[in-house]
Amino acid sequence: MKLDSKVHGTLIRNKDGKEIPEDEFIVFRPADNACLPTLSYYLSTCESLGAAPAQLEAVKALIERVWKWRQAHPERCKVADVEPGELGE
Answer whether 42's CB lies under 8 Å from 21's CB. no
Cα separation of 80 and 34, whole Å?
Answer: 8
Q: How many domains does the chain have?
A: 1
What is the pLDDT, as a whole number, of residue 19? Answer: 96
Predicted confidence at residue 85, as pLDDT, reads 65
**How far separated are the first and last CA of the chain, in Å rounded?**
10
* pLDDT the model gives residue 86: 59
The answer to whether residue 85 is domain-embedded is no
Per-residue confidence of the chain (89 residues) as pLDDT tens digits?
Answer: 777 778 888 999 999 999 999 999 999 999 999 999 999 999 999 999 999 999 999 999 999 999 999 999 999 999 987 766 656 65
Q: What is the pLDDT of residue 1?
A: 74
Q: Is residue 20 part of a domain?
A: yes
The pLDDT value recorded for residue 80 is 83
**Gyration radius of the chain over CA positions:** 15
For residue 24, being part of any structural domain is answered with yes
Domain around 61: 11-76
- Give me the pLDDT at residue 31, please: 96
Measured CA angle at 52 (ends 46, 55), to 5 deg: 65
